[in-house]
Amino acid sequence: MRNSFGVILLLIAVSGCAHSKGARGESEKIVVKEDHSKKIVEGILKKKIRHYPKKYVKKLASHLVDEAERHNISTALVLSVIQTESAFSPKVVSHKGAVGLMQVMPTTAAYIAKRESKIRFRKKRELQNPFVNLRFGIYYLAYLKDRYKGRIEHILSAYNAGPGKVDRILKRNGVYHPQATKGYVEKVTTLTQKFQDLLNEGANRI
């Protein structure tokens, strides 16, 4: 009986060790893929934002992937929104006053800062800092994702035209068909697939 008990303990120990190694292996694999994603994003940013120093672009790529991961937003979606909104121009300001890479409105940034005590916002020009802009833009995408329960056409329409407009149409019709934002939604979703293909291609090489 004692010997049997010893065998059981040994099997549990071996199983636990194997499980631990398996979990550690999966964790390491995720880290490797994440690092590879950062390298791919860095390569994209180098082509799109050529006047920035390489070290700066590397940090920005890491920041983008980390923020997207933290808020459970697709990195490919973030890149496609940037491409559509600003064509990767960090300093651009629209005629409506939207600023930077993700064309964040100062009023939106102020609203997010009220919701999140850890995020501060004082002046419009802060949004021309790519790191700040990405933090607000990605947070806003996550907020819209939660608000519209992951419905991508609602999320993108609200990002483009404002959630107030989407909410009014949903309240009136019960269904939202993005006619006014159809072109925007289609462009972003098409670009998202292209960027995702680039990220997947890199991940498959690991």
Q: What is the pLDDT of residue 26?
A: 45
* Number of domains the chain contains: 1
Catalytic residue among 85, 116, 153, 186: 85
For residues 94 and 82, give the distance between their C-alpha atoms in angstroms, rounded to a whole number.
14
Prediction pTM value: 0.81
Segments forming the whole domain that contains residue 132: 2-203
User: Tens digits of per-residue pLDDT, 31-74?
Assistant: 445 678 999 999 999 999 888 888 899 999 999 999 999 999 99
* CATH number (domain holding residue 29): 1.10.530.10
Residue 69 bears catalytic tag = no
Tokens of 25: 């292996």
Q: What is the pLDDT of residue 9?
A: 32
Q: What is the pLDDT of residue 172?
A: 85
**pLDDT < 50: residue spans in the chain:** 1-20, 23, 25-32, 205-206
Q: What is the pLDDT of residue 25?
A: 47
Q: What is the pLDDT of residue 107?
A: 96
Residue 111 backbone class (left: φ over 0; alpha: ψ -120 to 50; beta: rest): alpha
Angle at 71 between CA 65 and CA 73, to 5 degrees: 65
